[in-house]
Amino acid sequence: VEGTRKESRGALIVLEGLDRSGKSSQCSRLVSYLEGQGISAELWRFPDRTTNVGQMISAYLSNTSQLDDHTIHLLFSANRWEKRSLMETKLKTGTTLIVDRYSYSGVAFSASKGLDIEWCKAPEIGLLAPDLVAYLDISPQKAAERGGYGDERYEKLDFQKKVAESYKTLHDVSWKVVDACQPIEDVEKQLQEIALDCVTECQKGKPLSP
Ligand code: T5A
Ligand code: NA
């Protein structure tokens, strides 16, 4: 504290929202923007389908494998745990991470199947807490109109309605709600502002938790 200057760290910024809310489009735009500002930034996504666990998740999502609801929940969580130490290293060495989905997706989607919400949250305890969660807000109906849903397991209007309700119970102090129905460039602008504020706060020494 007094007199000692900490090495500035990167920010952990998560984008959440329903399927088709625009997360992936905005994550890559945001990374380009931050890099353009001279900020070291990387794009991450969950599920990370490149790992062994990620491949099991991918097979489940594409309906080529069946798994018990609890089992797939724990696999999604394990997929975040297997990236935790690398995540911490990146942040501590000054790289900002823009993450497409995180624990909130894990809880919102599984709780929407009827699993107990506290049970759903438990395996997420001890993962790094985001500095900012930008929730891309769109109605399930409007999201469904965007390019139509594909064949992935959760891409059904009735299920997305439940997910939207679950997300509402998860808002915490790190959340900022962004209207995802605006033109893509307007959403982009808003995200740039809140992300830049967040990066600045982290550079000033906001502690990484837990
Ligand atoms: N899941 C995930 C769990 O159940 N538990 C977990 O722990 C985790 C991490 C993963 C699935 O797994 C579930 C959640 C998901 O169902 P995914 O691979 O992350 O799926 O896929 P999605 O997030 O569903 O990706 P989508 O591609 O469907 O949606 P995005 O990324 O939100 O949207 P994006 O950017 O691809 O855009 C969709 C379309 O909309 C247009 C785009 O051009 C594109 O065509 N668009 C806009 N159109 C008009 N106005 C705008 N502002 C627009 N923004 C984008
Ligand atoms: Na996506």
Residues with Cβ within 8 Å of residue 119, at least 6 apart in sequence: none
Tokens linked to 81? 């745990």
Indicate the pTM of the whole model.
0.96
Going from the Cα of 19 to the center of ligand 2, the distance in angstroms, rounded, reads 7
> Quick one: pLDDT at residue 73?
99
Tens place of pLDDT for every residue, the chain, 210 residues?
Answer: 444 445 799 999 999 999 999 999 999 999 999 999 999 999 999 999 999 999 999 999 999 999 999 999 999 999 999 999 999 999 999 999 999 999 999 999 999 999 999 999 999 999 999 999 999 999 999 999 997 788 899 999 999 999 999 999 999 999 999 999 999 999 999 999 999 999 999 999 999 987
Q: Which of 15, 16, 18, 24 to mutate to test the pocket of ligand 1 (most atoms within 8 A of CB)?
A: 24
CB 162 within 8 Å of CB 112: yes
Angle between helices 103-111 and 157-168 (to 10 degrees): 120
Residue 155's alpha-carbon distances to 53, 74, 141, 163, 165, in angstroms, are 21, 20, 12, 11, 16
- Please tell me the predicted confidence (pLDDT) of residue 209: 85
| CB of 140 closer than 6 angstroms to any ligand 1 atom | no
Nearest alpha carbon to residue 97 among 79, 109, 84: 84
User: Whose CA is closest to 49, among 13, 21, 83?
Assistant: 83
- Ligand 1 atom with minimal separation from the 109 CA: 4
Short-list 26, 25, 18, CA closest to 142: 18
Task: List all residues 6 or more positions away from 153 whose beta carbon is below 8 Å from its beta carbon.
Answer: 60, 61, 62, 63
- Ligand 1 within 6 A of 76 CB? yes
- Rounded to the nearest whole angstrom, what is the distance from the C-alpha of residue 4 to the centroid of ligand 1? 43
Question: Which ipTM value was assigned to this complex?
Answer: 0.97
Residue 24, ligand 1, Cβ within 6 A = yes
Q: Residue 12: enclosing H or E segment and its boundaries?
A: strand 12-17
Token pair recorded at residue 49: 């389908």
Report the separation in Å between the CA atom of 2 and the middle of ligand 2, taken as the mean of its atom positions: 43
Check if 166 has its Cβ closer than 6 Å to any atom of ligand 1. Answer: no
Assigned token pair, 84:
């935790």
- Any ligand 1 atom below 6 A from CB of 154: yes
Ligand 1 contact, 122 CB (< 6 A)? no
Contact in structure between 132 and 198 (CB atoms under 8 Å): yes
Alpha helices in the chain (DSSP H): 23-36, 52-61, 69-81, 84-92, 103-111, 117-121, 140-145, 157-168, 184-203
- Residue 49 pLDDT: 98
Strand, helix or coil for residue 46: coil
- Kindly give the distance from the C-alpha atom of residue 124 to the centroid of ligand 2, in angstroms, as a whole number: 21
Question: pLDDT, tens digit, for every residue of 125-134?
Answer: 999 999 999 9
